[in-house]
Chains A and B, each alone.
Chain A
Amino acid sequence: MINMNLLGMFSLFKLELKRQLTYPFHFFIWATLWPIFIIINYFLWQSVYAFSGQTVIRGMTFESLIAYFIAAMVIGFATEANFDSWIATRIRSGKLLTQISLPMSFMHYLFSYWISKKVINVIIYSIPVFALAYLFVGFNIFKTNALLLLFSIVVAGLLTFSFTMLFAMTAFWFKDIKGMRYLRIGLTTFLSGAILPLNFFPESFQRFSNYLPFQYMRYIPAKVMTGEINSFSAFMFAQIFWAVAMFLLAAYIWKYAYRQFTGAGA
């Protein structure tokens, strides 16, 4: 049964790869778009550092801040999950029936679909971003503790996947969840440290943030990528805890949410 599932997942993974590569122009455009965020941050913070006359702000030099932005972006390529609107559309139209009729669980199906996107994103989009990073601030990814980074990314991916799944499941009750989606994106983008490292935030917020799962989605893996965390520390245990807890919660709610599905419109 496990082998059958793995085989099915691998087939789906290959299918999704082919489907997504149907429009290579799309990837070309996005490969040129992602570095724009880095370029904007580069010029913005260059002005800020120069005007303030500071070489270090909140323990970060200009180069280490840009390296952080790059790392946070690449972590996003590998872990971000935006399938909630995809699920909501299928629930509303009843097309979810197609997926749940397959001889594999929906979670396995979704995971294969998601992981294929992630693999393509990392391969295609990381290259121009890392090239820019090396040219502008001398950031070298090959100096990172690769094993620790891989571990942290996998756990962050599981955490983000489960968190998005929680929001996606609200579609069984609300049908249209664009609003929930915006809230999720807002929360995760800002609180995970995707647009600003959390050590720039007020200290009271940083203390509060330690009790939330968001920093383990981007901030901690980005710190691993930039080499600021280079050994298996308490952060890793906390990351595992949140990922497992979120996954179990998502799996538990799925059992109840799934019962709401009537297949209307199919």
Chain B
Amino acid sequence: MRFINLFLRSTQLSMHRELAYRVNFVLKLLGIITLEIFKPIFIVIMYSVSLGLPGWDLYELILFSAIFSLVTGLGATLFYGVAYRTIGAVEGGTFDNILLKPYGTLTFLLARSVSIGNLGTIIAGLGVFIFALSKVTTPSPINFVFFLVVLGLGLLFILSFIIFVSAFSLHFVHSETLIDLFSISKRFGLYPITIYGTLGTFVFTFIVPFGLAAHYPIQALFGSLSIILFSKLVLVAASFFTVAYIFWRFSITKYTSAGG
């Protein structure tokens, strides 16, 4: 309950911060939405000059890119701030303040790091998702619930990576580049991972599961994700989270304050 209160207050604060410059907030939303809309436009152009990707029609691939935007937009809104806040606090010598809060350190960071500024990606993703969904076979309610669960696994993977980056920043200063590393490499999941061949599909499913960003959620939505593969994906996401959390706990014990 305390976490939810803190989370809601933090969201409210983030909203107030963004609305301090209202014109900028609106322009930022428009700018991000414009950038996101280019993804389906890219796909439309691709299908206008060719047959596109095997096994995917135009609207299915647009739906795919919308799911990718949704997952990455939610990840950026809810979790990226954890890494930025940790890195900034370590560099500025104020991480001790966070350690002293009457909350678990990670819980506090999660509740305080909402970034409303990334809302545009979610809005655009949701808009394109609704549009594209209306053009393909309507999924059953069970498949839709299944889809939401796999979407959650994708978010868990993003959170795990962010926890890992935050933990890393407790050992090494100026590690923002690791966020760039994630932001860029997650684009492997922007298109169906089968385009990377058998090896690529294996790597992006079990080693670095970028397939959780859109490939597997859309399979769940269309009812083509087997229970066995789903179980394996749960195991992969849970393992990632466990390893990241253990590394975080270890890093906290090794953290030596640089003043502040």
Contacts from A to B (Cβ < 8 Å): 23, 25-26, 29-30, 33, 36-37, 40, 43-44, 46-54, 57-58, 174-183, 185-187, 189-190, 195-196, 200-202
Contact = CB atoms under 8 A, between A and B. Distances in A.
A36 to B, nearest CB: 6
B48 A178 contact: no
Nearest to A51: B54
Interface string B4-29: 00000000000000001101111111
Contacts of B31: 178-183, 185-186
Contact of B48 (A44, A174, A202): A202
Given A179-B23, A202-B48, A29 B185 contact: no
B188 interface: yes
B180 A30 contact: yes
A200 B25 CA distance: 33
A182 B34 contact: yes
Interface of B: 20-21, 23-32, 34-35, 38, 41-42, 45-46, 48-54, 117, 120, 174, 177-178, 180-181, 184-185, 187-188, 190-191, 195-197, 200
B21 A176 contact: yes
Contacts of A177: 24, 27
A47 B187 contact: no
B35 A185 contact: yes
A107 B180 CA distance: 30
A138 B195 CA distance: 22
21 contacts: A29-B178, A29-B180, A36-B184, A36-B185, A36-B187, A37-B184, A40-B190, A43-B195, A48-B46, A51-B52, A57-B50, A178-B28, A179-B23, A179-B29, A179-B31, A182-B27, A182-B120, A186-B34, A190-B38, A190-B41, A195-B42
B32 A182 contact: yes
B205 to A, nearest CB: 15
B21 A189 contact: no
A54 B50 contact: yes
Contacts of A195: 38, 42
B62 to A, nearest CB: 15
A90 B54 CA distance: 50
A26 B30 contact: no
Contact of B181 (A29, A175, A179): A29
B181 A33 contact: yes
B45 A201 contact: yes
A196 B48 CA distance: 13
Q: Which of B29, B181, B200 has the most CB of A within 10 A?
A: B181
A50 B187 CA distance: 22
A179 B50 contact: no
Contacts of B32: 182
Contacts of A33: 180-181, 184-185
The interface residues of chain B, by DSSP majority, are classed as helix
A96 B177 CA distance: 26
Given A43-B195, A183-B30, A186-B35, A200 B45 contact: yes
B45 A179 contact: no
B21 A175 contact: yes
A174 B23 contact: yes
Contacts of A185: 31, 35
A30 B27 contact: no
Contacts of A58: 49
Given A36-B187, A174-B21, A181-B31, 17 more contacts: A23-B177, A29-B177, A30-B180, A37-B187, A40-B191, A44-B53, A52-B52, A57-B49, A175-B21, A175-B24, A179-B25, A183-B30, A186-B34, A186-B38, A189-B35, A195-B42, A202-B48
A137 to B, nearest CB: 17
Q: Which of A29, A47, A187 has the most CB of B within 10 A?
A: A47
A52 B50 contact: yes
B38 A179 contact: no
Contact of B49 (A30, A187, A200): A200
A58 B21 CA distance: 45
B7 to A, nearest CB: 24
A21 to B, nearest CB: 13
Contacts of A47: 53-54, 195
Contacts of A49: 50
Contacts of B29: 179
